Structure 1
Amino acid sequence: MSTLFPPPLLLTSTLTPLSYTFTLTHPSSPSPLASTTGFKRLPPNLLHMDTMTIDRRLLKRLSLTGSVNSNNLGVMLGCVALRWGYERGCSRVEFLAIDDSEFQHKRLVRHWRRLGLKEVRYVGDDVKDVPDRLVWGGRGMLMEGGTVELLEKWKRVWEKKDDEQEEV
């Protein structure tokens, strides 16, 4: 079995009973390579995946693109967050594909749909969207999925990574 992330990447976490921050760093850079934050919403024991950022320029500068790509890095970090939620009884997960620009929004929706999340509704500027805007902090497509189903689907990233390392 391989390590969680390719060496020399280091995963650090800041955890509370209801929230998480996972950060991925590289020893040669003071800046985080990737991070994700979220929290458990009570009720209904829902995992709220709040942010996920990947510094693609840093990934390229560190010449890590051959050993890990930004999509797989995001899925791996997402799995860590999903597992955190699963261990705390979250059966569902919500994520907002933020709508800061039309091009990026369409890309995010397509990406998360391909990874197994379903579109719930668009959170916009209407009065009815105010509660969601307060929770999410922006406009975008609210997407959701089952925690176990997503973990099952996303585990292929590790299986593929393990197979590649065994061939070397």
Structure 2
Amino acid sequence: MIRVVLTVLVAVSLLAAATPALEDARAATTAERLDTEADRVERAIGGLVAGSVGVADPALAARTTVTVRAPSGFGAAPIDRLALVETSAIAGADSPAAETASKPFDEASVALRYRIDGGPERTVAIAPGGAEAAVAVDGGAVALRPGGESRLRLRLVDDGGPTVRIARVG
């Protein structure tokens, strides 16, 4: 009987010691997966711009959709907030959000902004890369589902130059 009690006590103490490391790993994995989702949006923008020409009428504009998948499940930390925002809406370079940016904002006009499990706001810039086009979010910030999939519609319009407009579908 004493062996069973000692075994349970050792198991509980090991679990208690390992829990903070597990939480840190979950948060790091979630941040890495969200960075990957931002890269997928960048590639979709680049593909749309490379194979199309912007037109003034949005109904005739070249378009594509991309699905953003927020990580969920046991291996992911809970996401409190997830959205696509214009970088002009993000405070200056000395703000905490700019400190947690994983890419520079100098060439990006749109960013993926999120908060993991009550932590600080994190921001990932979505730059069009080598594409000669601006990127804009239709109607302000686009809220995305923090625990599932969100479909985005990308349209290439001519707003005084080629511009990829991003809107959420559904």
Fold shared by both chains (TM-score > 0.5): no
| TM-score where L is the length of structure 1 | 0.30
| TM-score where L is the length of structure 2 | 0.30
Higher relative contact order (Cα pairs below 8 Å, separated by 6+ residues): 2
